[in-house]
Amino acid sequence: MSDELSGRTIAFLVSNEGTEQVELTEPWKAVEAAGGQPVLVSLDGGEIQAFNHLDKGDRFPVDRVVADVDAGEFDGLVLPGGVANPDQLRADDDAVAFTKAFLDAGKPVAAICHAPWTLVEADGVRGRTITSWPSLETDLRN
């Protein structure tokens, strides 16, 4: 088992409802398997409601609220997808500023599926090669 992330803290930024569950849980497990510490950061405290496509999935406890954290506390950022999740994040000033702080600091940022919408809002795609769900191609080009 790799320990590339040993001692590293990775923020997972999600909205309180609408995150695609597998896009949260599988990278979370990968961070743990690599020796890192994942931290669930959301817009509000309590729990988030994950989804399996359009069906409700599991609920997960929020570790930190985005308005109360600093990107300097973390070594990297994961932005899980789902359609609703990044759409809500991009409309939240604290979530956008948090994301932008990682980009400005040159820290690793992983954006899954529709999550590049949050990167667009944080002005973080210009001059970069980005992967996404196919329907975001025009948004990313623009």
pLDDT digits (tens, 9 = 90+) for 90-139: 999 999 999 999 999 999 999 999 999 999 999 999 998 888 889 988 88
pLDDT at 48: 98
53 a catalytic residue: no
* Catalytic-role residue among 113, 120, 125, 136: 113
- Angle in degrees, CA 94, 79, 15, rounded to 5: 55
Write the CA distances from 19 to 26, 43, 62, 128, integer angstroms: 13, 12, 13, 24
pLDDT at 2: 55
* Catalytic-role residue among 79, 81, 114, 136: 114
Write the single-letter amino acid at 17. Answer: E
Q: What percent of the chain has pLDDT over 90?
A: 84
pLDDT at 74: 98
Structure tokens at 15: 């909205």
114 a catalytic residue: yes
pLDDT at 37: 98
Please give the average per-residue pLDDT across 8-12, as a whole number: 98
Write the CA distances from 17 to 21, 123, 133, integer angstroms: 10, 24, 19
- pLDDT-derived band of residue 1, with 50, 70 and 90 as boundaries? very low
